A and B are shown apart, each in its own frame.
Chain A
Amino acid sequence: MKQKLLIICALAASSLTVKAGNGLDTAKAAPAPADAPLVFSGSVDTYFKYDFEGKKFANIPTSFANESNSISIGMIDLGLKKKVGKASFVGELSFGPRSDQSIPTSATAQYHIQNLYVSYDVTDKLNLTGGYMSTFIGYEVISPVGNFNYSTSYLFTNGPFQNAGIKATYAFSDKASLMAGMFQDTWNSYQSTSDVSTFGAQLMLVPVKGWTAYLNVATGYASGTEFDLTTTYQVTDAFKLGLNAADFSASKLQSVNQSGGFDGIALYPQYAVSKDVTLGLRGEYFTSKTGTKGTAIAPSGVTPGESVTSITATANIKAGPLTFIPELRLDNGSKNMFLNSKALPTQSAAQFLFAAVYAF
């Protein structure tokens, strides 16, 4: 028995020692760099929301998290990415109410795609990408991992979520790049209604270290024209400031007398008070243009010709991969556009929510 143990001991120690020594002097040639492995990532989110005006009213009409007095679910998001040499793909599927509300789909479809595209680096500076992609417009995104606030802005709700198409991105340097592409005639659609006629472009600039600005445009006879500025500035290690401003002019298919659409601006200051806690605000002013289709509440959630001001105070509390998000939000319309607890029109609405987002 003793001999056996000694032999096992000697073999184990010698194998480890040999392994540790390998690669020092015996290798004959530098190995070729390995391709990146298949990357798997995603998130899960859930929340509780309380609307101050009543038990089940969901007064504030922006996207997602619109179930009150309920412990509700957001979505599970599963993404895959792989790059071999110059070619890569991304596939990202989601399931759940947040996913259902973000992507128009038929009653029979049981799947929702957030991203599904292939990409190729033609040179170090030029990249071609085609497929169904998150939109290049706006500050906020569908995935709760990509947003600081859990509720969403009016600008996000009324802008595109996804654009399917093909685009080319040229990087002049790490401080400037230009993207241009052709996308489906309608937003948020796996397939075009008639053709691929929306032109989109994005100019990315880094004027100073820490400051990134995106100037975006998407225009088409069916989808209308949106100009958008999205910018963030990391002012100090702890303080970040974001801004989103947009103007959308609806197409004649979407508006009365071609004057519909919206304007808006949102400011996002965020301050990290510790390594695990960041506090932030979102202040937004949003106007629905008079020609927007819809007589009572337009697709924007705001009555045509009216405006709304919204203040959202949010904390992000990190516990490893889990982020807790307590949030208080107050919206105030230019006229009565919400309902009070007696279901009568009122000018303002408030809500509290507590969300938990796990990212992996």
Chain B
Amino acid sequence: MKYILSLVCFLVISKASIAQKDSLAIDDHGKYIYYKVVNLEKYNADTLYSRAQYFFKNGYDKNTLKLAVQDNKNTSITGLGAFPVSKRSGLARHQDGAVSYKLIVEVKGTKYRYWLTDFIFTPYHRDRYNNYIADNGLVIPFEVLGKKISSKDMDDYFDQTAAFSKQLGDKLKQYMLQGNLLKKDASPKVISINKW
């Protein structure tokens, strides 16, 4: 009985751990994609669209995410961005490359959906000043990454891309739920000590 309970315990913990990790999927054009649909019953499409706009402008710095295209029907927004990735096998952790991506957010009724796709890896190399910089002109779409780098490194980059996508999705949801309440209040809180 003790062993069965231990096994059940192990399986529950493993499942809970695995549940935190997301992964990329393949879309119907054979491209890697991270896709989610979210239903927020409290808000309508106009509210979600304006909050999505706010997210594109304020969610990240312009190197990580930049608004690229808005449709004139106020239903879809497209952004472009990039984030750094590193090899986990290395003795030291430094940037080994960057992954650029396209983010599309669409709203409809009380739902919104988003997907990240067009993932492209740019390898970095160490320059003479001990900085890690892009190899100019060398870019590798995720769909052919396995032919260009080791499978271990590719798995690392895919995991980091899925983790970034999940983090971006979580952040987008915060903005969709709370809108411009996420604006930072720069002024410090004032406390009066004149009265108890």
Report the separation of the CA atoms of residues A233 and B174 in the bound assembly, to the nearest whole angstrom. 44
Partner of A12, one of B5, B9, B148, B173: B9
Q: Contact at A90–B130, with CB atoms within 8 Å?
A: yes
By beta carbon, the residue of chain B nearest A320 is B89
Partner of B12, one of A9, A41, A133: A9
Q: A6-B5, A9-B12, A275-B148 are in contact. Are A81 and B170 (CB under 8 A)?
A: no
B91: interface (CB < 8 Å) = yes
Q: A25-B177, A29-B182, A360-B90 are in contact. Are A16 and B130 (CB under 8 A)?
A: no
Q: Contact at B129–A134, with CB atoms within 8 Å?
A: yes
Q: A131: shortest Cβ distance to chain B, in Å? A: 10
Q: B133: shortest Cβ distance to chain A, in Å? A: 11
With a cutoff of 8 Å between Cβ atoms, the chain A residues found around residue B137 in the complex are 209-212, 233-234
B187: interface (CB < 8 Å) = no
With a cutoff of 8 Å between Cβ atoms, the chain A residues found around residue B152 in the complex are 320
Report the separation of the CA atoms of residues A136 and B178 in the bound assembly, to the nearest whole angstrom. 50
With a cutoff of 8 Å between Cβ atoms, the chain A residues found around residue B149 in the complex are 275
Q: Contact at A41–B130, with CB atoms within 8 Å?
A: yes
Q: Contact at B20–A232, with CB atoms within 8 Å?
A: no
B44: interface (CB < 8 Å) = no
Segment 21-80 of A: residues with Cβ below 8 Å from B: 23-25, 27-30, 33, 37, 39-42, 79
Q: Report how many residues on chain A are interfacial, defined by Cβ distance under 8 Å.
A: 55
Q: Report how many residues on chain B are interfacial, defined by Cβ distance under 8 Å.
A: 50
B192: interface (CB < 8 Å) = no
Q: List 29 A-B contacts (CB under 8 A).
A: A6-B5, A12-B9, A12-B13, A16-B13, A16-B17, A19-B20, A23-B170, A24-B173, A25-B173, A25-B174, A25-B177, A28-B178, A28-B181, A30-B58, A30-B59, A30-B184, A39-B94, A40-B94, A41-B130, A135-B128, A145-B126, A206-B136, A210-B136, A212-B137, A275-B147, A320-B152, A359-B126, A360-B90, A360-B91
Residues of A within 8 A of B (CB): 1-2, 5-6, 8-9, 12-13, 16-17, 19-20, 23-25, 27-30, 33, 37, 39-42, 79, 81, 90, 92, 114-115, 117, 133-136, 141, 143, 145-146, 206, 209-212, 232-234, 237, 275-276, 320-321, 359-360
